[in-house]
Amino acid sequence: MNWDDTTDETAPERLVGSVADGEDQAVEAALRPKDLGEFIGQEKVREQLDLVLRAARARGATADHVLLSGAPGLGKTTLSMIIAAEMGAPIRITSGPAIQHAGDLAAILSSLQEGEVLFLDEIHRMSRPAEEMLYMAMEDFRVDVIVGKGPGATAIPLELPPFTLVGATTRAGLLPPPLRDRFGFTGHMEFYEPAELERVIHRSANLLDVEIDTAGAAEIAGRSRGTPRIANRLLRRVRDYAQVKADGIIDREIAAAALKVYEVDGRGLDRLDRAVLHALLKLFGGGPVGLSTLAVAVGEERETVEEVAEPFLVREGLLARTPRGRVATPAAWTHLGLTPARAPGQGNGQPDLFGT
Ligand SMILES: Nc1ncnc2c1ncn2[C@@H]1O[C@H](COP(=O)(O)OP(=O)(O)OP(=O)(O)O)[C@@H](O)[C@H]1O
Ligand SMILES: [Mg+2]
């Protein structure tokens, strides 16, 4: 297989990557659940949020600020829209990187209507001064607008109508505690169970007017890395295959054959994931090996290996990050159908990490 042929728009990297782009964004809008009842999985967050919103509605008040944290593609943006819909409120959407100056934030805050939902995506990437302005806005519904510069500058307090801030972050740990503490409710989104992803797939298939049976949905769900965005994307690619190569109906066989074409394996690993594992096992005997060496071996940037391939491999228990480098687990050997050449860690005087 030609390692360079990644220009195709269905390149496997994009197929299982959890970040949305291009075609995704348009389809995602169409597939988004519109209310809490339609939102699949995340039982805990859903139940808790339902209480928060119902109680606020009953009091005729604006809902408390909500922080949603979790990996990309798990439904944070979707939930923020649901919050607005459930409160019958308009929603304003912006993101941390878009707010570089406190003035940008002041402009947004001062134009909010009463009860409006302000969705701040990637809230951990906001600038410091904007963050400090946000503290006050969240707590006192007030901002100080600074007029002038230097010693003559004056702060003019500006009252804000009550609003609900919904912050989303993939990195809750990066939020400064004073910011985190100002949210009345924090929902942590978990990866989805295969059964939940099956429901996501059936729902999406229905909306896309695609025929799929239970086994076909299960096949796709099992390879979706616990992520609805990936499940929807794989479904669309399998639909293409079914249309071109079969009668358009997706069953287990069609799903498996299609995903084979796209090089997504039975566990959801793509070509890059497998290349990393393969290099680690075949070239470095299972490790430990440094990240940079591993990246060179697969012809990728360090960051790509670290941020795109590794998180999933670690989560799947196929790879471990140790102070001495990357190490393959016994499961990695099994997954690639290889027999360990020697036990990992052996021959360097170090205790064996996995007791093999
Ligand atoms: N619980 C769910 N039920 C059904 N579909 C869902 C669910 N959660 C997410 N999806 C689908 O997955 C797609 C991605 O969700 P969303 O954009 O909300 O993720 P996100 O957490 O905001 O990701 P990112 O961190 O990349 O912004 C949406 O199009 C939506 O259709
Ligand atoms: Mg989002």
Q: Which of 40-54, 55-69, 327-341 has the lowest mean pLDDT?
A: 327-341
* Residue 356 pLDDT: 46
- Residues 6 or more apart whose Cβ sits within 8 Å of residue 337: none
Residues forming beta bridges with residue 58, ordered by sequence position: none
Confidence of residue 27 (pLDDT cuts 50, 70, 90): confident
Nearest to residue 227, comparing CAs of 4, 59, 7, 16?
Answer: 16
Atom of ligand 1 nearest to the CA of 27: 29
User: Which of the listed residues 21, 77, 196 should we mutate to test ligand 1's pocket, taking the one with most ligand atoms within 8 A of CB?
Assistant: 77
Phi/psi-derived region of residue 297, left when phi > 0, alpha when psi is between -120 and 50, beta in every other case: alpha
pTM for this model (two decimals): 0.86
- Residues 6 or more apart whose Cβ sits within 8 Å of residue 95: 120, 121, 122, 123, 125
Is 76 annotated as catalytic?
yes
Provide φ and ψ at 122, rounded to 5°. 50, 50
Using a 6 Å cutoff on CB, does residue 200 contact ligand 1? yes
Using a 6 Å cutoff on CB, does residue 19 contact ligand 1? yes
Confidence of residue 307 (pLDDT cuts 50, 70, 90): confident
Q: Which of 170, 225, 236, 270 is catalytic?
A: 170
Confidence of residue 33 (pLDDT cuts 50, 70, 90): very high
What length is written for the chain? 356
Is 121 annotated as catalytic?
yes
Nearest to residue 291, comparing CAs of 13, 281, 301, 311?
Answer: 301
**What digits encode the pLDDT tens for the residues 327-356?**
999 999 999 988 886 555 444 444 445 544
Residue 173 has pLDDT above 50, yes or no: yes
Using a 6 Å cutoff on CB, does residue 28 contact ligand 1? yes
Q: Could you tell me if 319 and 327 are in contact, meaning their C-beta atoms sit under 8 angstroms apart?
A: yes
**What digits encode the pLDDT tens for the residues 64-84?**
999 999 999 999 999 999 999
Cα–Cα distances (Å) from 325 to 122, 144, 151, 296, 340, in that order, read: 30, 49, 53, 14, 18
Confidence of residue 14 (pLDDT cuts 50, 70, 90): low
Question: Where are the alpha helices (H) located in 19-75, listed in sequence order?
Answer: 23-31, 43-59
Q: Which of 24, 121, 270, 273 is catalytic?
A: 121
Q: Which of 14, 24, 62, 77 is catalytic?
A: 77
What is the mean pLDDT of the segment spanning 139-158?
A: 87
Using a 6 Å cutoff on CB, does residue 72 contact ligand 1? yes
